[in-house]
């Protein structure tokens, strides 16, 4: 018997809609156990008199309501344009354009995924991956068929050729601050590392650091990725680069792909995963899994439940890297999701005995 959730006492829709609430309950009951969300969202099927920062206002054509839309956005609300096989979310100064199937129950599905705690752009992706009746076909109806997911419109063109492949399971992946650290960790037998230098420094010094990392990587037959500095990595003949979502607008991806370099892309949810897949990278990083102090994160921690869902969706499609707050204590839980690689930072660089820390972490991949 389908479990029913107590959503009727919540302000899910404007105007109130009992049938939509009941459909949301049916769908939400088959999506699994998620921590309750405290986000003040509400889906508005007609414009409310006074929008609030949690409102998502569904309309058919933003051009016909241009002045109203501008006012709603200034007031902190989001606007979803929904037409045949397309849905566009305007929220927080960003526009998310999706092309795909709009089920009859897509609004109820959107509400259910919002209730699971997903941000509106990720919840909308999942709503477009929903099919009417999915909640009746399995106890776990969470979307897991990539072929059903929407296509993102308006993206920069991908390189003509896909990026070169890297091993499907990269294993332990230390992210290190200097060439000296790269040399040290590779001497411990690690086969995949990343140089991540975030401090400002002269270009000549940066190039020397990258060239030094490339050389030691070749000496150890290891895969050395360079974070961010794609041009210097390209000039040095690096094995690969790791870029953030924003970097695909500025990096010469075609030149990197043509040179046979590998590309890793950071993601923080379903929308960014689809965006990364568009560029056919060598691997996709999923994070931050846990809270981290090594960098300022644009999103809340993903957690193990989401990581497991991402792995289920993408396993066999592209190599995956879990990143963010991972240490020896949580590594078994991370690997239990099925992910084949875990990136670590402080677990190595702040260890009292880095060699022993690396040995213990590597042992975790063999259990």
Q: 247: annotated binding-site residue? A: yes
Q: 137: annotated binding-site residue? A: no
Q: 293: annotated binding-site residue? A: yes
Q: 228: annotated binding-site residue? A: yes
Please report, in angstroms and rounded to a whole number, the separation of the first and last CA atoms in the chain: 38
Q: 294: annotated binding-site residue? A: yes
Q: 197: annotated binding-site residue? A: yes
One digit per residue, the tens of pLDDT, for the chain of length 367 reads: 234 445 656 789 999 999 999 999 999 999 999 987 878 899 999 988 888 889 999 999 888 888 999 999 999 999 999 998 999 999 999 999 999 999 999 999 999 999 999 999 999 999 999 999 999 998 899 999 999 999 999 999 999 999 999 999 999 999 999 999 999 999 999 999 999 997 777 899 999 999 999 999 999 999 999 999 999 999 999 999 999 999 999 999 999 999 999 999 999 999 999 999 999 999 999 999 999 877 666 678 999 999 999 999 999 999 999 999 999 999 999 999 999 999 999 999 999 999 999 999 999 999 8
Q: 359: annotated binding-site residue? A: no
Q: 280: annotated binding-site residue? A: no
Q: 299: annotated binding-site residue? A: no
Q: 325: annotated binding-site residue? A: yes
Q: 161: annotated binding-site residue? A: no
Q: 282: annotated binding-site residue? A: no
**CA distance to 13, 56, 63, 105, per residue, from 48 (Å):** 10, 10, 19, 22
Q: What pTM did the predictor assign? A: 0.95
Q: 4: annotated binding-site residue? A: no
d(CA 25, CA 19): 10
Structural domains of the chain, ranges and CATH numbers in brackets: 13-152 (no CATH), 171-364 (3.20.20.70)
Pairing of strands 262-267, 94-99: unpaired
């Amino acid at each position: 018997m389908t479990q029913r959730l107590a959503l009727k006492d919540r302000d899910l829709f404007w105007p109130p809609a009992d049938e939509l609430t009941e459909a949301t309950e049916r769908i939400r009951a088959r999506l699994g156990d998620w921590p309750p969300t405290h986000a003040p969202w509400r889906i508005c099927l007609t414009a409310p008199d006074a929008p609030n920062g949690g409102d998502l206002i569904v309309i058919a054509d933003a051009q016909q309501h241009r002045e109203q839309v501008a006012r709603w956005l200034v007031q902190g609300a989001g606007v979803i344009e929904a037409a045949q096989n397309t849905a566009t979310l305007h929220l927080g100064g960003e526009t998310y354009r999706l092309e795909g199937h709009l089920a009859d129950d897509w609004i109820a599905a959107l509400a259910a995924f919002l209730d699971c705690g997903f941000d509106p752009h990720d919840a909308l992706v999942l709503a477009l991956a929903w099919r009417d009746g999915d909640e009746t076909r399995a106890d776990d109806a969470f979307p897991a068929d990539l072929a059903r997911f929407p296509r993102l419109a308006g993206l920069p063109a991908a390189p003509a050729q896909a990026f070169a492949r890297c091993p499907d399971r990269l294993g332990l992946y230390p992210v290190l601050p200097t060439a000296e650290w790269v040399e040290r960790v590779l001497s411990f037998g690690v086969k995949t590392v990343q140089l991540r230098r975030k401090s400002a420094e002269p270009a000549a010094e940066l190039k020397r650091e990258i060239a030094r990392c490339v050389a030691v990587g070749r000496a150890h037959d290891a895969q050395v990725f360079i974070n961010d500095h794609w041009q210097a990595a390209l000039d040095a003949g690096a094995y690969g680069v790791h870029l953030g979502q924003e970097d695909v607008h500025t990096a010469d991806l075609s030149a990197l792909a043509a040179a046979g370099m590998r590309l890793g892309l950071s993601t923080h949810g379903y929308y960014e995963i689809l965006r990364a897949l568009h560029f056919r990278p060598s691997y996709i990083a999923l994070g931050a899994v846990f809270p981290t102090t090594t960098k300022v994160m644009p999103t809340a921690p993903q957690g193990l439940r989401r990581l497991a869902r991402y792995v289920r969706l993408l396993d066999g499609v592209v190599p995956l890297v879990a990143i963010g707050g991972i240490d020896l204590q949580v590594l078994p839980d991370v690997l239990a999701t099925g992910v084949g690689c875990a990136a670590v930072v402080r677990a190595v660089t702040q260890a009292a005995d880095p060699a022993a820390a690396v040995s213990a972490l590597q042992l975790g991949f063999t259990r």
